[in-house]
Amino acid sequence: MQSDRAAVFSCMRNEGPFIMEWVAYHRAIGFDTIAVATNNCTDGSDRMLDRLAELGHVIHIDNQLEEGEAPQRAGLRRALAHPEIGSCAWLLHIDADEFLNVTAGEGFVSDLLAVSDDAEAIAILWRSFGHNGLGYWNGGSVLNAFTRAQGRPMKRSIAHKTMFRPDRFGSAIDHMPKEPVSDNPVLINTAGEHVYNRALRNPSRARYRMGFEACTWENANINHYAIKSQDIFLMKNDRGDGMAATRNKYFLNSVFYFRHNRNDVEEKGILRHWPATEAILNEMRSDPELVELEKAALDAYRTRRDQVLTPERILEWSLPPRK
């Protein structure tokens, strides 16, 4: 166990226009290891990550799937078995539309871990960011484009991602680790408070059953850009769900859309890391091959969007407005 190292891991498919910003930001806030698993990409995301791996920016895992297998479950299994990832002291699993925002101290991963004490897992609450009025995506920075968010935690949208010690758990699912080594694993929130840990021992439960008063953004939260622009949100139906679910979750006016398209307040705190993030992006984009791959991914997105999002399909993927 490398006691001073922290890793962030994500499962991705066709996230090419967004990969480099996600990698650069999490490098800027102090993650030592950044790893991404991909499956069945058609936009060149896998080739982009291969190149990023060649240049030392990421670990890229080829996440081949069995019939009906959930990409995130397979990817997490492979990540935990990877010697460099599994040997890190801490591992955070998040999606490509999620960014860890540490508000404690200088905003680095180490500032969050300073509250961990004897914890084996830290539950980090989502903060939903809305579309900020953007209908179509034509490239750029997610962090700079989407700066409207929910103003306070709300019971109807409570969910966490988890930073955990990989040597203390046997497996993990999308929101939390599972199969704890100890009978009573120490789970805390980002304020450092011990919270109810039973979900860690339930093989399928994806939500913690802590009281609402323990759901806090103190010291850190996950900036969740689940909506982005309207076209990006609708195209999630074309990409597929990371847990292999089929439902109307990604329809306009769905319950998920209503809960997470939050534009209540201006929230730019994460941009204190933009200068460092941009410097890393500029370093990446000094490589001509990465520049071409990023451009090709955006072109592939636009082409596929124009094929898929016909007026008829948009209507099919829309529910009646909520009253």
pLDDT of amino acid 1: 43
- Integer-rounded Cα radius of gyration of the chain: 19
Q: What is the per-residue pLDDT across 175-214, written as a single tens digit (0 to 9) for each?
A: 999 999 999 999 999 999 999 999 999 998 999 989 999 9
Mean pLDDT score of the chain: 95
Summarize the confidence of residues 242-247 as an average pLDDT. 55
Question: Cβ contacts of residue 160 below 8 Å, gap of 6+?
Answer: 123, 124, 125, 126, 175, 176, 207, 208, 222
pLDDT of amino acid 2: 46
Identify the bridge partners of residue 100 per DSSP, sorted by sequence position: 222
Which sequence spans correspond to the domains of the chain? 2-316
Reported as type and span, the H/E element at residue 144 is helix 142-145
pLDDT at 246 over 80: no
Residue 278 C-alpha from the chain's centroid: 19
Helix axes 274-284, 19-28, angle to 10 degrees: 130
Handedness of CA 27, 29, 33, 36 (dihedral sign): negative
Asked if residues 258 and 228 have their Cβ atoms less than 8 Å apart, the reply is: no
Residue 215 exposure: Cα atoms within 13 Å on the Cβ side: 20
Using CA atoms, how far residue 111 sits from 15, 30, 125, in Å, is 29, 10, 16
Residue from 9, 15, 74 nearest 44 by CA: 15
Band of residue 156 on the pLDDT scale cut at 50, 70, 90: confident
Percent above pLDDT 70 for the chain:
97
pLDDT at 14 over 90: yes
pTM: 0.95
Higher pLDDT, 174 or 67: 174
Q: What is the per-residue pLDDT across 38-58, written as a single tens digit (0 to 9) for each?
A: 999 999 999 999 999 999 999
pLDDT at 277 over 70: yes
pLDDT at 239 over 90: no
| Least reliable range by pLDDT among 27-41, 62-76, 117-131, 261-275 | 62-76
Using CA atoms, how far residue 320 sits from 116, 251, 254, 262, 317, in Å, is 45, 10, 9, 19, 10
* Spatial distance between the Cα atoms of 136 and 198, rounded to a whole number of angstroms: 42
Structure-derived torsion over alpha carbons of residues 45, 50, 54, 60, reported in degrees to the nearest 10 = 100
Asked if residues 217 and 233 have their Cβ atoms less than 8 Å apart, the reply is: no
| Least reliable range by pLDDT among 98-102, 221-225, 318-322 | 318-322
Amino acid at 283: E
Q: What is the per-residue pLDDT across 74-117, written as a single tens digit (0 to 9) for each?
A: 999 999 999 999 999 999 999 999 999 999 999 999 999 999 98
pLDDT at 6 over 50: yes
pLDDT of amino acid 46: 98
pLDDT of amino acid 4: 83
DSSP at 129: B
